[in-house]
Amino acid sequence: MKAMKKIIQLTIVLFAVTSMSMANNLLPSITLKNIPAERKFSLSIEGLTEKAEITLSDIDGQVLLSQKTEGQKEFAKVFNLNQLPSGDYFLTVATSLRETVQPITLTETEVLVDYNKKREFFSPVIQVKGEHIDVSMFNGRIG
């Protein structure tokens, strides 16, 4: 009985470590930085394994900017928001596995980013294996 319990515990640990490793390899790293005293921000995405869609929308959900990466492993760009009125906006980076939404505030002189308000949404992964269907509902946390 104890041997079976140890095998189950080791299997769970192995599954958690494998899942974390796979998630880290599949999810790109997204970095957003404001440029001080300017109405600009830089966005860099590293570790892309697929195309990503980047959108900037206003508080009403109106898409003001949309850009897709074209299969490159890294993406970097400075976004100039001088033509937009002051207010609240949402920058979204979406891949097939994750959608990251970062609220930003545009003032008269700069872009403000509150990293604590970032939200991430994960897509379920469905695999068919013979007569079984595996559904993974990754929530961004392991353990």
At 20-64, the pLDDT tens digits run 334 445 689 999 999 999 999 999 999 999 999 999 999 999 999
Across 1-143, the runs of DSSP E, i.e. the strands, are 29-34, 40-46, 53-58, 63-68, 74-80, 87-94, 98-106, 111-113, 119-122, 125-129, 132-136
All domains in the chain, ordered by first residue: 29-128 (2.60.40.3080)
Q: What is the pTM of this model?
A: 0.73
Task: Check whether 98 has a pLDDT greater than 70.
Answer: yes
Within 10 angstroms of residue 1's Cβ, the number of other Cβ atoms is 5
What integer pLDDT is reported at residue 75 of this predicted model? 93
> Using only C-alpha atoms, what is the Rg of the chain?
20
**DSSP type of residue 98:** E
Which residue type occupies 120? E
Distances (CA, A) of 116 to 40, 65, 101, 109: 20, 23, 11, 22
The encoded tokens of residue 90 equal 């949402």
